[in-house]
Structure 1
Amino acid sequence: MIILGIDPGYGTIGYGVVRFDNMKFTAIQYGAAKTAPGTPMHLRLCEIYDDICTLVDTFHPDEVSIEELFFSKNITTGIQVAQARGVILLALAQKGLHPVSYTPNQVKMAVVGYGNAEKKQMMEMTKSILHLTKLPRPDDAADALALAICHGHSRQAMRYEGLYFMFYYVDGTVSVLQTGLAVIDCGGVGYACHASQNTISRLKIGTKARLLTYLNVREGIFELYGFIDEEEKSCFEMMIGVSGVGPKAALSILSVAPPDRLALSIITGDEKMLTQAPGIGKKIAQRIVLELRDKMSKEQLESASAASPVAAADLSGGVNHTQEAVAALMVLGYTQAEALHAMKQIDTAGMEADEIIRQCLKKLVKQ
């Protein structure tokens, strides 16, 4: 797919032509078309029209992205840019193309992962994604390339119905910690990750950290979510698969019910635990418990509760606790054999089910 990104203007029109194939971006050409100052506006618009037609005829783009116009404090300048943008849209329409508009924040989220990213961060990330040897210039061309990248990510996300993962993980230094947010600095680029309190409590500003990530895409908005381990990410993905549960609700639940508690709540039908999370009512909690229990087949549940060398042992913690722990680990995606193998390596005497699960998870993560 060849994507043409356009940064509209009446004095300088940035453009960037990018090839997007197999999840990789390659810059074909970029630059800026200019109109001379002092030239009557109607003649400048004619030049812009001709320049856009030439670009389309030269590079034959499959799709086009253009920056959404935002109101300027200078009303005269805003009107002139709007006129130029209208001519650009006309030229594209007459060439049979249907441009897609993106706001500056949407572009920043798509390229950097942070809606308030600075110009330098945007240019560095654009250079990295396109494997350029130097920062793209002029700024208008850099913006156009970023628009093309944004559209490529958006198109790919739509192809996978919003379940597109742009990053598997981010690895760097923790630079910002706020309620529900962790910013990881990776080579001078800050990735803002929405995170649960469970994850944030295990991070410290100035230290190295690696967060597994999930990119949520909806209506052109890109939101990055970070997780301290595979178990938390797996629980998050299972919950957003439940009807009516979005990413923020899932994160809210994980803040009060880490993976071990969540799995146990599902197995025991403890919906009250889930309603402790802000924004989670009784109906949603019941739906989560029912739908996630249903994901385990009847045979799995019977198998998890069946007698085994560990479950049958006469432990002071009680056989029900070990059975619940095995079933909960199976909810998290582990097989019964894996759960029992991990359980054999710990002394479950006197342990409650949630502690057994927690200790087993430590063993399973190391395997």
Structure 2
Amino acid sequence: MRILGIDPGLRRTGFGVIEASGMRIQYVASGTIVVPTELPLYQRLKAILDNIREVIQTHQPDDSALEKVFVNTNPVSTLLLGQARGAAMCALADSNLNVSEYTALQIKKAVVGNGHAKKEQVQLMVQHLLSLNGLPSSDSADALACAICHAHANPLLQKLKSHEQSQLSHQSRMRAGRLIG
């Protein structure tokens, strides 16, 4: 399965693509979408949307993972980050990709083993886990870490979803049996 991870930001949006097969993961690509700050907000959001669409067309992911927005002390920054995240999510949805969301705490815990790890620790672990020659940029490392988190969580999520569907199916059959009998 090819997974696209996104670390959204209004100035810098990181992306990372990995190939996952069981517990084996392999680096495919990563980068940072740098959005000119002098553009009006709507053009900045469109730049994020267009660039993520291009990444999707180029790398053809099967699934995607997106970092959830955290609420910080500045509500304006939180709102702007949410809009950048929305532009990224629209690009993913427009390409018919499933979008799984993870908090920074979940991502860091999955990659580093510590939900309060520093950015440098995430970069080093991503480099190590993907056998990269050099240290990825902070934005790329965060996006790759998001994809790695999804690669580890997805098999469990699929089992839970399958179990949930079989439970719902069983309940429907039971209800139908009561209606008939």
Q: Which residue of 2 aligns with 1:93?
A: 93
Q: Which residue of 1 aligns with 2:176?
A: none
Amino acid at match of 1:12: R
Residues 49 and 160 (structure 1), Cα distance of their counterparts in 2 relative to 1, 3 Å cut: closer
Amino acid at match of 1:51: N
Following superposition of structure 1 onto structure 2, how do residues 97-108 of structure 1 map, counting pairs within 5 Å? 97-108=97-108
For 2:32, what is the secondary structure of its paired residue?
A: strand
Following superposition of structure 1 onto structure 2, how do residues 21-170 of structure 1 map, counting pairs within 5 Å? 21-137=21-137, 139-158=138-157
Amino acid at match of 1:61: P
- What's the CA shift for 1:72? 2.2
For 2:136, what is the secondary structure of its paired residue?
A: coil
Amino acid at match of 2:88: I
Q: Which residue of 1 aligns with 2:16?
A: 16
Distance across 1 between alignment mates of 2:116 and 2:83:
28
Distance across 1 between alignment mates of 2:68 and 2:159:
25
Distance across 1 between alignment mates of 2:30 and 2:36:
20
CA contact (8 A) 2:67 2:104 kept: yes
Q: Which residue of 1 aligns with 2:4?
A: 4
Q: Which residue of 2 aligns with 1:279?
A: none
| Structure 1, gaps ≥5 residues long | 162-367
- What's the CA shift for 1:156? 2.8
Amino acid at match of 1:157: L
Amino acid at match of 1:43: Q
CA contact (8 A) 2:37 2:44 kept: no
Amino acid at match of 1:109: K
Larger radius of gyration: 1
- What's the CA shift for 1:126? 1.0
- What's the CA shift for 1:9? 0.8
For 2:134, what is the secondary structure of its paired residue?
A: coil
TM-score, reference length from structure 2: 0.84
Q: Which residue of 2 aligns with 1:344?
A: none
Amino acid at match of 2:149: C
- What's the CA shift for 1:159? 5.2
Aligned residues: 160
CA RMSD of aligned residues (A): 1.4
Deviations 1:110-153 (A, max 9, x none): 1112222222221111111101112111x111100000000000
For 1:125, what is the secondary structure of its paired residue?
A: helix
Residues 113 and 160 (structure 1), Cα distance of their counterparts in 2 relative to 1, 3 Å cut: farther
Distance across 1 between alignment mates of 2:159 and 2:113:
19
TM-score, reference length from structure 1: 0.42
Distance across 2 between alignment mates of 1:132 and 1:93:
30
Deviations 1:161-219 (A, max 9, x none): 6xxxxxxxxxxxxxxxxxxxxxxxxxxxxxxxxxxxxxxxxxxxxxxxxxxxxxxxxxx
Distance across 2 between alignment mates of 1:38 and 1:159:
43
Amino acid at match of 1:28: V
Specify which structure has the higher proportion of helix.
2
Distance across 2 between alignment mates of 1:22 and 1:102:
20
For 2:126, what is the secondary structure of its paired residue?
A: helix
| Structure 2, gaps ≥5 residues long | 161-181
Give structure 1 regions of 4+ aligned residues with deviation exceeding 6 angstroms: none
Deviations 1:29-63 (A, max 9, x none): 10101111111111111111111111111111111
Distance across 1 between alignment mates of 2:119 and 2:85:
22
For 2:101, what is the secondary structure of its paired residue?
A: strand
Distance across 2 between alignment mates of 1:160 and 1:101:
17
Distance across 1 between alignment mates of 2:118 and 2:12:
21
Q: Which residue of 1 aligns with 2:179?
A: none
Distance across 2 between alignment mates of 1:11 and 1:118:
21
Following superposition of structure 1 onto structure 2, how do residues 1-367 of structure 1 map, counting pairs within 5 Å? 1-137=1-137, 139-158=138-157
Residues 98 and 12 (structure 1), Cα distance of their counterparts in 2 relative to 1, 3 Å cut: same
